[in-house]
Amino acid sequence: MKSSHRRVVVTSPFFDEEAHAYLKQHGCEVDIVQWQKGEGDGSLATPQLASLLQGASGWIVGQAYVTRELLTALPDLQVLARRGVGYDRVDVNAVRDLGRVLTIGAGGNDASVADHTIGLMLAVARRLRESQNRMLAGNWSILTSSDLSGKIVGIIGLGRIGKSLVQRLKGFEARILVCHPRPDREYGEANGITYVDMQTLLRQSDVVSVHAPLSPETRFLIDSAALALMKPTAILVNTARGGLVDDRDLLAALKTGRIAGAGLDVYVSEGDLAFKPVSDELVALPNVIATPHSAGSSVEALARTNMIAAKTVISVFDGEKLPEACVIADGRKPAAAG
């Protein structure tokens, strides 16, 4: 059944004109929240979000916390479209229970995050930050560094981004180890990867790259015990979710030389401000390359994920089938058989 009520509120930053035009072409009234630099919907409390979204039937979400209380206060809201792919800030059970739909931008930023991951690996291994800082201080002497080429790279979690990373690592002639709960043996054979358990991956890898989803089971998957298994020359990269790595333990490992370096795009402090001093210390270390959860925020990735979000909103309004990979929760009652 098509929906005639089509007010869409966009709280994601960097929402481009093409996606905006698509919504308008499909009969939507579109309200795009304009943020000051450094602001976003993740900083808004439930009452503020409820006020912004009153009367909206569609919401294109950035990093907001979506609670049962918020959804209950928005009876007109039919669909929440996450512009990214993570949804750990959304009460999925509440979405389903209250008859709403939650979608993600599956496939929109895989290539961009994989590119960024490679960039972090190279920047840490080649000591780019340290070299430039020395040059700025007037010291042009050469720091020896390490290649990525021919190294053993361990990938924890082999979803869309993990598989994109595999393709890029082939160009570096890397030996690829994977720890994944449901190994796809056919994919492994076709792409020259070896499935191993977590301990083997940590012990053997020169670079460990984390690509698992965040859940109660995976929180602090990389802790002091895991870091103790890694080579002292190894690098840890996390472009997945803050909370998969215990940043306190990582900070200690980096400061004591337990591992050689880290490339970080996500931090525990994104969800727990008590960890902000830890994040600040990590970012200040010379053997850390840090970015502000921006791996999926290339111009190209944002355009793709904006359009995916816009299209899923319209599909819900029009009662059309949604791409399976984009659907996280669908609480709509199935149409009665005629």
**Tens of pLDDT, residues 83-129:** 988 898 999 999 999 999 999 999 999 999 999 999 999 999 999 99
Q: Which tens digit of pLDDT belongs to each residue from 269-325?
A: 998 999 999 999 999 999 999 999 999 999 999 999 999 999 999 999 999 999 999
Looking at the DSSP bridge assignments, the partners of residue 81 are: 60, 103
For residue 337, being part of any structural domain is answered with: no
CB 329 within 8 A of CB 81: no
Looking at the fold, whether 95 and 55 belong to one and the same domain comes out as yes
Single out the catalytic residue among 20, 96, 129, 293. Answer: 293
Instruction: Indicate which CATH number applies to the domain containing 215.
Output: 3.40.50.720
Single out the catalytic residue among 6, 116, 270, 304. Answer: 270
Question: In the structure, what pLDDT confidence band is assigned to residue 333 with cuts at 50, 70 and 90?
Answer: confident
Residue 248 among the catalytic residues: no
Q: Please, which contacts does 98-101 make with residues 24 or more away whose CB atoms are closer than 8 Å?
A: 98/68, 98/71, 98/72, 98/331, 99/331, 99/332, 99/333, 100/71, 100/329, 100/331, 101/316, 101/322, 101/327, 101/329, 101/330, 101/331, 101/332
Looking at the fold, whether 276 and 134 belong to one and the same domain comes out as yes
Looking at the fold, whether 134 and 259 belong to one and the same domain comes out as yes
Rounded Cα distance between 134 and 156, Å, is 34
Looking at the fold, whether 114 and 101 belong to one and the same domain comes out as no
> What is the tally of structural domains in the chain?
2
For residue 93, being part of any structural domain is answered with: yes
Residue 241 among the catalytic residues: yes
Looking at the fold, whether 284 and 306 belong to one and the same domain comes out as no
Residue 7 among the catalytic residues: no
Looking at the fold, whether 136 and 285 belong to one and the same domain comes out as yes
Q: Which tens digit of pLDDT belongs to each residue from 26-82?
A: 999 999 999 887 788 988 999 999 999 999 999 999 999 999 999 999 999 999 999
For residue 130, being part of any structural domain is answered with: yes
The per-residue DSSP string of 5-41 comes to --EEEE-SSS--HHHHHHHHHTT-EEEEPPPPTT--G
Single out the catalytic residue among 6, 160, 241, 304. Answer: 241
State residue 36's pLDDT score.
83
Q: Which tens digit of pLDDT belongs to each residue from 225-275?
A: 999 999 999 999 999 999 999 999 999 999 999 999 999 999 999 989 999
What is the domain range of residue 97? 7-108+298-330
Looking at the fold, whether 223 and 173 belong to one and the same domain comes out as yes
